[in-house]
Structure 1
Amino acid sequence: MEEKLSTIYLRDGRNALQYVMSLSEKYRQIATEAIFECLRLGYPLNNMEITGKARQMQRKRNAPLSIQLGGVEIIQKKIKRTSSSFSSSAFKASKA
């Protein structure tokens, strides 16, 4: 992996390995994956693109499995509960 990173250059002239090693250890893995994803998508290799892609990938990983799998049904149930709780509280308020 290090060999591959050392042959990839960012827009500012640093190679990808230097960039990744300048980061905190806990961000190195996701940054490495983001660099390869940016390359795959044809994005320019700069800090903004790498950081944005890394954040997007991290959000996807931290999302509940149902949302990752397109769990529209679960989201709709939450909306129904919310709307019914609003209507029941509105009903109680109108009776008072």
Structure 2
Amino acid sequence: MEPAQSGTTRFHAPLGRLALFLPLILCTEAMAQDAERGRRLFENQCLVCHQDIAKPGQKHAVTNLQDLRQRIQGWAFHMGEDWGKSEVDDVLLYLNSAIYRFQEPAR
């Protein structure tokens, strides 16, 4: 009698597919949470001065993600905020998804 190896493979195939897609699912969820945190940081710390200029579709002086990152870092420092990389990254993610929509990867 031969072992039922082909049946075993069939049962593990969905788990293999899940293993391939799980990082994408978790990454997408984490990005959504980070963008939400970025939105809250922006609304609590930046929107007071930027409420009239931070609108989708409006022309901006920022032309790429690196420039946007530098501006976020500069203004956080200027305003006395003790933002680390995670706060800057979250605000960058939020602003890019809500307003700028640059296609290049953030560095």
TM-score range, shorter chain: under 0.3
Larger Rg: 1
Structure with more relative contact order (C-alpha pairs < 8 Å, separation 6 or more): 2
TM-score of the superposition, structure 1-length normalised? Answer: 0.26
Structure having the higher helix fraction is: 1
